[in-house]
Structure 1
Amino acid sequence: MERKTSSVNAIVGLLLCLITLIAATREWGFDTYPLHLCAHAVFLAAIAVTVPRVRWGRKVFVIVALGLSGAVVLTRQDWPDVLDRALVTAEFVAAFFCALSTLGNAAASSPAIVDCGRYLAGQPPGRRYAALTVGGQLFSLLLNYGAIALLGNLAVASAKEEKDPEIREHRTRRMLLAIERAFVSTLPWSPLSFAFTFSSVLIAGVSWTDAVLPCFVTGLLLAGSGWLLDTIFKPKLSRPRTGRPQQPAGSVRTLGPLLLLLVIMGSLVFAIHLGSGIRVPGIVIVVVPLISIAWIGLQNKDTAPAKAMARRSLDFARTELPVLQSQVVLLTMAGFIGIVGGALVDPLVATAGIDLHLLPPALLLVFVIWIIPAMGQLGMNPLLAISLLAPLLPPARDIGLEPTDLLLATTGGWALSGISSPFTAMSVVTGSFAGVSARHVALRWNGLYLPIAGALVTFWVLAYALL
């Protein structure tokens, strides 16, 4: 039985690696019809092998995808094009997710990264939230959702060293909120985030170089509003604190390796984008795994680096990728369902007399920002929500807007949904560290954050687009 499981894991890992490789060649301009068909065949094979191994909550997504595919075939003459677009989107999502996962694998064996996290978690109360906000953003750029897991573990371990239970409870909550909000603040602008990447794929005409600065301002507003709320509403202790706060181990130089890695990665992606014109997400799919492999070699520079890189790459494909199969099914099916569902909803919306072209630009942007977190309260993944919404949006320039304006709205809405929905991974993971429910994190801990951060994001999007 164990040998059979190992063999199936190896097959799943191989198929996911092939999907990533084919998606990368497609992004770099080497797409051919046979390769296109090969990508579809490999992806469908991966889903077929993976579905029996995931829980029913994930199987439902596949069943819905099959049902919607059947409906498209029966109701639309252009169904081959619709299904092709949906498969290409799902394959890209799988490739992007697998490529980003390589960084987490490399970081797991890096003592320097753990030292960085421990230094941030050990900051004294006066600057702990700010340190975790800035540091959490750096970790989020590197590890995506893994940043919450890594820093959350270190934060909880650090809080346990506090003897006073009241202080320990406040400290745990504030640290976890700082980490969660730091992650959310990178979603609108980071080329390594699903929010920015997927939105830029669905909205025609978007350029990362044009969008990154206004989207970065959105991130600053999300991070700054969290810090402001923490500063204003500091918890009051029922009795004076005794003893001195612990001092962090290390110094600001501890962050050096993390900063250096991010500078190298950002410089490579930016330089290749400017020199070749290839989309930033397509560059990320190639550059990130190569940097991860080089990083592993550097970690083992004194003990056969080439052998270590080969062994870790093989282990990642055979062991690490199959562990992520549940997330792969969820994300790829969300993208697939969004494209196919959007194609079905579009004529229904037109029949109902609903035309988003007729909305004033300001009202359309506000609608986009807030419909995504509203759908999140119903359990809809932001990726799925935007996939359904994007086909219904009019071309930006047809209504006097720029593509960047719509991107600002969708990424801002994605971030707000991520922080406020009880069904997102970040709420679930944060709640598990704190020993509370995901609903408690989303609606109680972030209950005031959502309207304040949401208002700031809305005003910024409107100001940028209309003024």
Structure 2
Amino acid sequence: MTDNVQRLRILSAALAVVVIIGVVARDVTSLAWGRDAARAALLAFVAIEARAVVRGGRIMLAVCLTSALAAWIWQPDPLSLLGRALDDGAFIVGLFAALSLLRDAAESSHLVQTCGGWMVRQPPGRRYLVLSVGSHLISLVLNFGVLPLLGTMVLKGNTLEAAGGDVRVTAIRQQRMMTAVLRGYCMMTVWSPLSICFAVTQVSVPGIAWWRLLPLQLGLAVLLMGLGWVMDRRAFPGTQAPRGAEQAGGHRPMYALGILIGAVVTCSVAWAETLGVRPVIGAMMVVPVSALIWLTAQHWSAQPQAAVAMAFRRLGQRLTVSMPSYRNEFVILGGAMFFGRLASAFLSPEITAKIIGLVPLPPVAVSVLLAWAMMLLANFGVPQIVTVTLLGSAVTNLTRLGIDPLVLASGLMGAWSLSATTTPVGAAALTVARLSGVSSTTVAHEWNGAFVRMGAILIALWMLALSLFL
């Protein structure tokens, strides 16, 4: 590696760290310097890494540049609009970068390898439930940080030795385990009041009280997770683990990992409450410190001072590798948020409602089609937040057409969660694909395509039932 390449990697890593610090400072202090630093660092990172971005990222960059030019020409206050769009992009990039630090600590952890081995030795049905439910609960406050954490954990334990030397079994286990983790995380967005999906839907759809929406969405989440478990059992009926193998290593390492995760989750929520910020901001502050503590504990056999120094050195070295390698994720995720903000400025609620009103179908059928349309658009790279914002802003007009806001909100949240598992350009599919060593298309379409199609039918029936009984 040339000195110039190494310097660029260090610079890219430093810029990613500035984005994290700027986003946190903006939310915690409301000072302009944090906002400006995050914006400038994000633009500089993209400028440095743009040439190495793959095709999907280049398309997103072209979309962002085109939409920015359109906003500059046709919007009355383009500078303010572009600034808000950059803020959205910096937030999602900073969140992704901060939460990914747990993966760097998990990769070298003996505890992780032990727990992964225990999980993959569970009988297939139990293994899927353990991973999907565990992923679901942890993601309540760590958001998609659960994917690199649990993903690394289970993949560490999915060895040829654990599969009896059968490469085919190893591949099947990897698919099933990573699918369970992905679906568990994505189903969190169906109901959690801490998720971006819930917050955006509640704000965008006026008149929806959280206490009415929450119990309905909990029921839908249980149905969708149950559907995933049933489909997993039907798809892989004959891949049973050796009897008794699941007891290897006992439960003690899992308890230790549970305490570690519980500590990170608790500290994230407590710190966010103390500062009066969103839980995801608390996680962005706690996770890097947790990663350092975890790395320090791994080197604790040395002197304490030496262990701390080794942890800082290892994390710094990992940053210069991992942050530049996330260039595609940063561009796609940040670009989607940037474009979503600009797109929402061009379509008024009246125009949106007028277009929807042209569909010659009953109101509940139109609601179902809107939810399915969001899933379809997300599959082509249109962010869910754009669709929900546009439809939500038009709800006042849609109500006149007989569309129930609560039914529409419930269906959109369910469709958001399903589309997250089958969107090749989404954060979840990209992360799981990176961990698994496969393409995001494989994760989205081959691993989750059938589940999403059945889930779409389930959501349609759910919306029909709500329209009849509410």
TM-score, normalising length from structure 2? 0.79
User: In the TM superposition, what are the counterparts of 1:441-452 in structure 2 within 5 Å?
Assistant: 442-443=444-445, 446-452=448-454
- C-alpha change, 1:247 and 1:208, in structure 2 (3 Å) is same
Other-structure match for 2:381: 380
SS in structure 1 of the partner of residue 345 of structure 2: helix
> Unaligned regions of 5+ residues in structure 1, if any?
none
Other-structure match for 2:291: 292
Q: In structure 2, what residue type is equivalent to 1:390?
A: T
Other-structure match for 1:123: 122
Alpha-carbon distance, 1:182 to partner: 3.0
Structure 1 window deviating more from structure 2 (274-283 vs 43-52): it is 274-283
- C-alpha change, 1:276 and 1:167, in structure 2 (3 Å) is closer
Other-structure match for 2:253: 254
User: In the TM superposition, what are the counterparts of 1:76-87 in structure 2 within 5 Å?
Assistant: 76-87=75-86
Other-structure match for 2:320: 318
Q: In structure 2, what residue type is equivalent to 1:7?
A: R
Write the distance in 2 (CA, Å) between the matches of 1:269 and 1:247: 32
Q: In structure 1, what residue type is equivalent to 2:317?
A: D
Per-residue CA shift, 1:65-119, capped at 9, x if unaligned? 1111111111111222221110110111111111111111122222112211111
Other-structure match for 1:19: 19
Structure 1 window deviating more from structure 2 (134-143 vs 102-111): it is 134-143
Other-structure match for 1:184: 186
Per-residue CA shift, 1:140-188, capped at 9, x if unaligned? 6764332574356357535873477887776665445434433433344
User: In the TM superposition, what are the counterparts of 1:331-410 in structure 2 within 5 Å?
Assistant: 331-346=333-348, 350=351, 353-354=354-355, 366-377=368-379, 379-380=380-381, 384-394=383-393, 408-410=410-412
SS in structure 1 of the partner of residue 108 of structure 2: coil
- C-alpha change, 1:289 and 1:394, in structure 2 (3 Å) is same
Per-residue CA shift, 1:354-388, capped at 9, x if unaligned? 368999986675355322221244x326xx24235
Alpha-carbon distance, 1:289 to partner: 1.9
- C-alpha change, 1:436 and 1:10, in structure 2 (3 Å) is closer
Structure 1 window deviating more from structure 2 (217-226 vs 150-159): it is 150-159
Q: Does 1:97 align with 2:96?
A: yes
Q: In structure 2, what residue type is equivalent to 1:75?
A: W
> Which residue of 206, 219, 232 maps to 1:230?
232
Alpha-carbon distance, 1:350 to partner: 2.0
> Which residue of 453, 456, 465 maps to 2:455?
453
Alpha-carbon distance, 1:26 to partner: 1.0
User: In the TM superposition, what are the counterparts of 1:171-210 in structure 2 within 5 Å?
Assistant: 174-188=176-190
- C-alpha change, 1:20 and 1:276, in structure 2 (3 Å) is closer
SS in structure 2 of the partner of residue 333 of structure 1: helix
SS in structure 2 of the partner of residue 144 of structure 1: helix
Other-structure match for 1:220: 222
Write the distance in 1 (CA, Å) between the matches of 2:257 and 2:135: 11
Per-residue CA shift, 1:376-419, capped at 9, x if unaligned? 44x326xx242354144227788789999877544422221133
- C-alpha change, 1:434 and 1:55, in structure 2 (3 Å) is closer
Other-structure match for 2:8: 8
Q: In structure 1, what residue type is equivalent to 2:415?
A: G
Q: In structure 2, what residue type is equivalent to 1:354?
A: I
Q: In structure 2, what residue type is equivalent to 1:350?
A: I
Per-residue CA shift, 1:309-352, capped at 9, x if unaligned? 322342243332122122111111111112112323448x7299
Write the distance in 1 (CA, Å) between the matches of 2:184 and 2:129: 10
| Mapped contact 2:205–2:393 kept (Cα < 8 A) | no
User: In the TM superposition, what are the counterparts of 1:133-148 in structure 2 within 5 Å?
Assistant: 133-137=132-136, 143-146=145-148
Q: In structure 1, what residue type is equivalent to 2:385?
A: I
| Mapped contact 1:139–1:147 kept (Cα < 8 A) | no
- C-alpha change, 1:149 and 1:265, in structure 2 (3 Å) is closer
Structure 1 window deviating more from structure 2 (254-263 vs 444-453): it is 444-453
| Mapped contact 1:365–1:462 kept (Cα < 8 A) | no
Per-residue CA shift, 1:424-461, capped at 9, x if unaligned? 57667878999998666655654542243334445557
Q: Does 1:114 align with 2:121?
A: no
User: In the TM superposition, what are the counterparts of 1:134-173 in structure 2 within 5 Å?
Assistant: 134-137=133-136, 143-146=145-148, 149-150=151-152, 153-154=155-156, 157=159, 161-162=163-164
Structure 1 window deviating more from structure 2 (405-414 vs 62-71): it is 405-414
- C-alpha change, 1:372 and 1:88, in structure 2 (3 Å) is same
Identity of aligned residues (%): 26
Give the length in aligned residue pairs: 459
TM-score, normalising length from structure 1? 0.79
